[in-house]
């Protein structure tokens, strides 16, 4: 999905347009404009902060100190002026978020949106329909059943005994792992991702733990909940459970973990690795 890094090129055509609708499709916000265009917002590491005069009635997204700063903050990228004295600020200190301007027809024809299943917060997502989907795709992981219109298209590979047990196990595992912060294994992105950076894994990650650095994507082990949703999405098979990472790429465990020290730390380690290793060609990718 070709995301624009900013709205600079389109800002002149957007100023003054009224916001007529706000919808959600998985991690994407779909903002409908009065002129017929739409903004597709992928928040990633971003934040949405609503300011009403001297009050801040809402702030949500990737937590950071910028949420507590007076608006606009040092990380504010876009400002939506609302009725009265209200404004919606879109902040993104890491600059990983994306906003894309599309027409109504482009929105209807978008291949990525067409792959997504019913929106869990929408009226079309009902208990009976969900049970039917679980029963129909008995060998698919719960993540694929929730996320995709056709779980079979998600390259699923996880098997569990029954739909009901998978449902309870999935949420129990996420709850336990998130609260305890004790993980025997996390996922690691290896060498094939360098200079490829396909973002399919980012789109399916439920906790936004996959981050873009200079030449690749990395998984922050402190944020990863070990759900495995990202692994089958990678077109170059660069994602592995830590204990299944090929020995020749053992350095990438430390490279991914270095994200906690900042992007520069990761970029330096990747540059060092590339200086000592010749990257093989990957057809259609690099």
* pLDDT (tens digit per residue) in 113-126: 777 766 776 776 77
Of 40-49, 142-151, 206-215, the range with the highest mean pLDDT is: 206-215
Assign 92 a pLDDT band (cuts: 50, 70, 90).
Answer: confident
Report which of 270, 273, 178, 261 is spatially closest to residue 217, judged by C-alpha positions. Answer: 270
Q: What is the pLDDT of residue 176?
A: 36
| Tokens representing residue 152 in the block | 């079979």
Whether the predicted pLDDT of 131 surpasses 80: no
Alpha helices by DSSP H, 186-230: 200-204
Helix axes 163-180, 127-136, angle to 10 degrees: 100
- Listed range (149-153, 161-165, 277-281) with the worst mean pLDDT: 161-165
pLDDT tens digit string along 198-226? Answer: 999 998 888 889 999 999 999 998 888 88
- What are the chain's domains? 11-110 (3.20.190.10), 117-180 (no CATH), 187-276 (3.30.70.20)
Report the distance separating Cα 25 and Cα 125, nearest Å: 12
Residue 161 has phi, psi (to 5 degrees) of: -65, -40
pLDDT tier, 178 (very low <50, low <70, confident <90, very high otherwise):
very low
What pLDDT, on the 0 to 100 scale, is given for residue 17?
78
| pLDDT score, position 142 | 63
| Percentage of the chain exceeding pLDDT 70 | 73
Q: Are the beta carbons of 263 and 216 closer than 8 angstroms? A: no
Q: Confidence class of residue 148 from pLDDT cuts 50, 70 and 90? A: low
Taking a C-beta distance cutoff of 8 angstroms, is the pair 115, 144 a contact?
no
pLDDT at position 273 over 90: yes
First CA to last CA across the chain, in angstroms?
18
Q: What is the pLDDT of residue 181?
A: 38
Residue 35 sits at the vertex; the CA angle it makes with 31 and 40, to the nearest 5 degrees, is: 25
Phi, psi of 36 (to 5 degrees): 105, -15
Kindly tell me if the per-residue pLDDT of 128 is higher than 70. Answer: yes
Q: What is the mean pLDDT of residues 237-254?
A: 93
Work out the average pLDDT over 67-91. Answer: 86
Whether the link from the prior residue into 72 is cis, omega within 30° of 0, is: yes
Q: Is the pLDDT of residue 144 over 80?
A: no
Q: What is the pLDDT of residues 6-27, one digit of tens each?
A: 455 455 567 777 888 888 877 7
pLDDT of residue 170: 38
């Amino acid at each position: 999905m070709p995301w624009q890094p900013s709205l600079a090129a389109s800002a002149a055509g957007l100023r003054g347009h009224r916001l007529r609708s706000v919808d959600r499709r998985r991690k994407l916000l779909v903002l409908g404009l009065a002129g017929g265009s739409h903004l597709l917002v992928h928040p990633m590491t971003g934040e949405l902060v609503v300011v009403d005069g001297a009050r801040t009635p809402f702030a949500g997204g990737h937590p950071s100190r910028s949420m507590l700063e007076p608006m606009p903050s040092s990380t504010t990228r876009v400002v939506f002026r609302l009725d009265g004295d209200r404004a919606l600020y879109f902040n993104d200190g890491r600059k990983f978020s994306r906003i894309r301007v599309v027409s109504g027809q482009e929105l209807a024809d978008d291949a990525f949106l067409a792959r997504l299943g019913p929106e869990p917060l929408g009226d079309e997502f009902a208990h009976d329909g969900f049970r039917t989907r679980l029963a129909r795709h008995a060998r698919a992981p719960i993540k694929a059943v929730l996320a995709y219109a056709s779980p079979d298209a998600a390259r699923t590979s996880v098997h569990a005994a029954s739909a009901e047990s998978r449902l309870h196990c999935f949420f129990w595992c996420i709850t336990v792992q998130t609260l305890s912060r004790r993980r025997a294994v996390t996922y690691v992105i290896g060498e094939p991702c360098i200079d490829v950076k396909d973002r399919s894994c980012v789109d399916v990650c439920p906790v936004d733990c996959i981050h873009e650095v200079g030449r690749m994507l990395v998984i922050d082990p402190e944020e990863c909940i070990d759900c495995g949703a990202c692994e089958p999405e990678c077109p170059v098979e660069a994602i592995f459970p830590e204990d299944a990472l090929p020995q020749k790429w053992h350095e990438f465990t430390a490279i991914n973990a270095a994200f906690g020290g900042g992007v520069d730390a990761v970029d330096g380690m990747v540059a060092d690795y590339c200086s000592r290793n010749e990257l093989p060609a990957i057809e259609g990718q690099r």
